[in-house]
Amino acid sequence: MEVDRGEKWGERVSSKVFSLFNSLPKKGKPQGREISVLSAFLLSSPSKELEVVALGTGTKCLPRSLRSPHGDVVNDSHAEVIARRALLRFIYSQIHIHQNITDKNEANGTNWSESVDATNLPIYLETDGSGHGKYKLKDGWTLHMYISQLPCGDASLSLPPSLRSISFGEEVSVPSNSSHHQKEHSSDSILKSNGGMYYNSTRFTGLVQRKPGRGVTTSSVSCSDKITRWNVVGTQGALLSYLLQPVYIFSITVGQSCDSSQTLSVQDNLRRALYDRIEPLYNTVARPFFVNEPLFFEAPIPPKEFQHLGSSEANVTCGYSICWNKCGLHEVILGTTGRKQGTSSKGSLSPSTESSLCKRRMLECFVSLRGNSLVDKIDATVSYKDLKEMARDYHQTSRIMKESSLFGNWLLKPVDSDRFILQV
């Protein structure tokens, strides 16, 4: 899609996003002095229509001590991560719709290419001579991302210190052991293996950052690092890579800061953090993956509930995360528990409290596609962790990035993480 490289594109994207956000109910939105971060994914069609398909808000991240081995909580409730998980559920819905139309057409003897419904979907099934294949984003359709401020971590290093309470991450020291990524670690040994050193510094740009917590250690890398990874492996994740060709972000648009002392432009920060760090991998990543170079744009300063003024007296971060997508998902998550808003302490571990975005529910989406020849080949009794690692091309591409010099200190997950099984 051709995009206007001037201010108009940033204004257009921002307008679409906040028009959608303003149409949502009050539940979960910042109130009074509360502030948050907003992120969204948009799809543009060959006709140049631009539509928000997934949206998320939030600034919270669970400490390592509250992570669950059962995949039943949302560990990272930062807006960018919430929006991306809402996007994944949107893609699952599109695949379901495609399959249902295909089944209906086969039953009626209708040619798929003649189906009116087929033209409305952004994906299609690209098959080989044997009739097998993967879904793919149609030509002329492109994915765009919006964030109300620079993502936490490396992209935010040029912000004034007063604005880093939400935007900034903690640098993770590089382990001296070269086989760091070949070992599994318990949650207690991860801190030790990383040297036990976590500190903030503007001197060391380009390194992996840990998301900050209120006096506690988290196990989540910054949004800058996660988005950079999506520019190598795609936004679709490991599970969807069984079914879908990599889907890359065509443009990233970020709201301007209301603080005029920022040392670099939004575009310069984004390019340095989200692309320049992975450019050296250009010749090491094999197709269908590649090193993606998005277009970077500034958007107008966001509304006041998304302006981070840097004063602790003026700012109170909202504890809720809103997740929404075009296919009917609308949920509010309490970022400090990783479960749905309104969860009582008495029923806090009930399945009804689980967010649609937690790993267990995302695995359900994948397993629900049984009947698809690609999914049917997979043993449903393997763990979530093993299932992700069995996506070999995706896993290998991810390893290439994480073992490169600037990402060699990527945080390892606890050994018991993601070992849960979803029985079907």
Identity of residue 329: L
Category of 167 on φ-ψ map: left (φ > 0), alpha (ψ -120 to 50) or beta: alpha
Q: Is 370 buried (19+), middle (13-18) or exposed (0-12) by CB count in 10 A?
A: exposed
Q: Nearest to residue 144, comparing CAs of 322, 9, 8? A: 9
Q: Nearest to residue 252, comparing CAs of 238, 277, 273? A: 273
Of the candidates 2, 80, 106, 331, the residue annotated as catalytic is 80
Q: What is the spatial distance between Cα 225 and Cα 332, in angstroms, rounded to a whole number?
A: 25
Give yes or no: 80 in active site: yes
Q: How far is CA 104 from the centre of its chain?
A: 33
* Residues classed as catalytic: 80
